[in-house]
Amino acid sequence: EIVLTQSPGTLSLSPGEWATLSCRASQTIRNNFVAWYQQKPGQAPRLLIDDASNRATGTPDRFSGSGSGTDFTLTITRLEPEDFAVYYCQQYGTSPALTFGGGTRVEIK
Amino acid sequence: QVQLVQSGAEVRKPGASVKVSCKASGYSFSGSGISWVRQAPGQGLEWMGWISAYNGNIKYGENFQGRVTMTTDTSTSTAYMELRSLRSDDTAMYYCARCPGISGGRADYWGQGTLVTVSS
């Protein structure tokens, strides 16, 4: 089973700042099949990025994904108030089996 | 538009079973699969398993093998997840999510969640 480790656990930032979230896999992810999700309190997760760097429909361009192999990054430029949430990475290189990372909380400083 | 509407909240006693439904609309149900994901209070996301509405193929997560059954009814575009031998640590929000294509993958649309509470 591929284990995904997200860091940091919590990121304290101000609106307008950049956020860099890391997702590290215990082994190489086939075809860089990594997705990123945003979850706000009381809501279901929302797909932001798939295939490591492809923005899902409706994802603002301030969100970008990058990385390959075992190291992946979600970058949020110019944080907006609505971006403060929890972010999860997921690998689907072993699909249909999936694995989620433990999440990174982006909170207002 | 794609929608997944789940059944309402459930309360069960330890040792009982629960069956959650997920009704899909706005896309070809048989052309995709459904993953089930749960989230314990204040915790992260845990993948439970996936079922193909195309051919009925199933993959269960190791933590749920032997205790979960996933099914689909293509005539009503509905997916079901039954979890048996419930324990207090099964208390969680349970989500269904569409995985486009026929072999699983990322989840692009999610249901609103069904809260299952296990308490004596």
Yes or no, beta carbons of B44 and A88 under 8 Å apart: yes
Yes or no, beta carbons of B103 and A33 under 8 Å apart: no
Dihedral pair phi/psi, residue B28, rounded to 5°: -80, 100
Cα–Cα distance for residue pair A66/B44, rounded to 1 Å? 22
Which tens digits make up the pLDDT trace of B22-69?
999 999 999 999 999 999 999 999 999 999 999 999 999 999 999 999
CA-wise closest residue to B71 among B18, B17, B22: B22
Residue pair A46/A31 in contact (Cβ under 8 Å)? The answer is no
Yes or no, beta carbons of A95 and B104 under 8 Å apart: yes
Contacts A39 to B, Cβ<8 Å? 45
Cα–Cα distance for residue pair A17/B10, rounded to 1 Å? 42
Contacts B35 to A, Cβ<8 Å? 96, 98
Residue pair B22/B6 in contact (Cβ under 8 Å)? The answer is yes
Which tens digits make up the pLDDT trace of A44-60?
999 999 999 999 999 99
